[in-house]
Structure 1
Amino acid sequence: MTGAYSQEGGRRGKPGKGNHMVATRWRARFEPGALVLEGYPFPRGARPTRVPAEALSEVCAGWFPPAVRTREGEYLFVPAEQAGELADFASQHGIPFVRRNDVWSFILEEFLDTEFSPELQEGALRFLESNGVSRAETQAMRELVGKRMLALTAVTWEWQHYGLYDVLSAMRPFTFTTGWSFSRFYEESMRLADRGGVQPASREEFSR
């Protein structure tokens, strides 16, 4: 069994910055009053590429790549090298910085190249339950994404962190054979991410 816990060090907190399979080849554009997502790596249905600042509700400190949440509960990513631009944009438009529990990191830790004990596995399940994700939901989602995530780990040997960005990257290229579509998975992944508990944060915390 693999996971985001190591036997010696416990669960790792902040994700590393060299651990994601897809090199960022697009850039967000910050216009006066709007975030523009031309070339965004994930299909978003009929949603517009230009997102007004007033439609954004929070910037998530501690997520990698940096993420901003819309008021509708969609999490949008910005290339890591543009974290400073995102922080400036958020400060200019009064978008709060928060620490939102990254439930996807706990769902996906089973697929990391790291051993962890039954006690730590149980701790992850309890954490997910405390954030409104049942054991049945966790198991079902792990079964859905497992083959793709293990294939990703076979290529990257990632052992520190997987999150929402990674599972979207892994699932997008494939045709679903289980009755799911990527658009359905995208919506469900956002709903799960939105269950994470949230606390206020500062720009300084975001920039660490």
Structure 2
Amino acid sequence: MACDGVDLNADQRPERLHPIAAEFEATPDGLYLRWPRHHPEARLVGSPIGWSRLRGGDPDAFSPELYLDDDTVVFVSALCHDKLRMTLQQHRIPMITRRPVWSLLLDPFLDTDYEIVRERCESRLRECGFDDDEMRAIRARVAPYADRYVQLTWEWQDLGEADLIAGYLIDAPDLHAYGKFRRWADHIAARGEMSS
């Protein structure tokens, strides 16, 4: 696949870069996750994830999410929605709902007129504690990754944290840089948590 003169091998295509576990298996030790081949998420998050590390989950998120004790977000395939809900209930893992902080922050990068939704998006972000300067700073930091992802995928409806991470991984950073960026993105996402 080539775009803007950049050749991407099969493991660098945006759909392969999403940090989404394709499947999981619940065992007495915790959740065993199956990651895309050679994905850095496998080394960063690991598998299994012990039950004591799981603080909650949201099977209804666009890409179902698990929340670890250090605010790490683990994305699971939407095809596992029902299985994830049942597993969380069986193991008494709390259901947690979060505002879509990254979707709101990334909305200006979509091929739509942001001015139409600006006040609604930024009002929701303010409810999560973001001020105008912080919103601008975050958007400036992620602009290269969001723009690159949109250029390669032609996404125009919604971007979320998993898409941002895929955009970041296009340039194949080292694991340390990836982990640092990932922790920063996860902490921002955690600010959208709503009490149950």
TM over 0.5: yes
State the Cα RMSD in Å: 2.5
Would the aligned equivalents of 1:36 and 1:49 in 2 still touch at CA under 8 Å? Answer: yes
Structure 1 alignment gaps of length 5 or more:
1-20, 201-208
Residues paired across the two proteins, number: 176
Structure 1 residue 105, shift from structure 2 partner: 0.8
Q: Which residue of 2 aligns with 1:65?
A: 63
Would the aligned equivalents of 2:146 and 2:167 in 1 still touch at CA under 8 Å? Answer: yes
Q: Using a 3 Å threshold, how does the CA distance of structure 1 residues 194 and 33 change in structure 2: closer, same or farther?
A: same
1:34-183 alignment to 2 at 5 Å?
34-39=30-35, 41-43=39-41, 47-117=45-115, 120-174=117-171, 181-183=177-179
What is the alpha-carbon distance in structure 1 between the residues aligned to residue 89 and residue 146 of structure 2?
A: 35
TM-score by length of structure 1 reads 0.74
Would the aligned equivalents of 1:105 and 1:161 in 2 still touch at CA under 8 Å? Answer: yes
Q: Using a 3 Å threshold, how does the CA distance of structure 1 residues 33 and 86 change in structure 2: closer, same or farther?
A: farther
What is the alpha-carbon distance in structure 2 between the residues aligned to residue 38 and residue 25 of structure 1?
A: 5
Determine helix, strand or coil for the equivalent of 1:181.
helix
Determine helix, strand or coil for the equivalent of 1:76.
strand
What is the alpha-carbon distance in structure 2 between the residues aligned to residue 32 and residue 135 of structure 1?
A: 46
Would the aligned equivalents of 1:109 and 1:161 in 2 still touch at CA under 8 Å? Answer: yes
Q: Which residue of 1 aligns with 2:9?
A: none
Structure 1 residue 64, shift from structure 2 partner: 1.9
Structure 1 residue 31, shift from structure 2 partner: 2.0
What is the alpha-carbon distance in structure 1 between the residues aligned to residue 195 and residue 102 of structure 2?
A: 17
Identity %: 23
Would the aligned equivalents of 1:42 and 1:168 in 2 still touch at CA under 8 Å? Answer: no
What is the alpha-carbon distance in structure 2 between the residues aligned to residue 47 and residue 82 of structure 1?
A: 18
TM-score by length of structure 2 reads 0.78
Among 16, 22, 41, the residue aligned to 2:15: 22
Runs of at least 4 residues off by over 4 Å: 44-47
- Alpha-carbon displacement from aligned partner over 1:114-148 (angstroms, at most 9, x marks no partner): 22326x31332222122022322221221122122
Greater helix content: 2
Structure 2 alignment gaps of length 5 or more:
1-13
Structure 1 residue 109, shift from structure 2 partner: 0.7
Would the aligned equivalents of 1:175 and 1:181 in 2 still touch at CA under 8 Å? Answer: no
One-letter identity of the residue aligned with 2:149 = L
- Alpha-carbon displacement from aligned partner over 1:79-102 (angstroms, at most 9, x marks no partner): 111112211110110112222112
What is the alpha-carbon distance in structure 1 between the residues aligned to residue 142 and residue 114 of structure 2?
A: 20
Would the aligned equivalents of 1:33 and 1:93 in 2 still touch at CA under 8 Å? Answer: no
What is the alpha-carbon distance in structure 1 between the residues aligned to residue 112 and residue 137 of structure 2?
A: 21
What is the alpha-carbon distance in structure 1 between the residues aligned to residue 35 and residue 70 of structure 2?
A: 21
- Alpha-carbon displacement from aligned partner over 1:148-199 (angstroms, at most 9, x marks no partner): 21222223232221111111111023267xxx92221111001101111314
What is the alpha-carbon distance in structure 2 between the residues aligned to residue 88 and residue 82 of structure 1?
A: 10
What is the alpha-carbon distance in structure 2 between the residues aligned to residue 73 and residue 59 of structure 1?
A: 11
Would the aligned equivalents of 1:61 and 1:99 in 2 still touch at CA under 8 Å? Answer: no
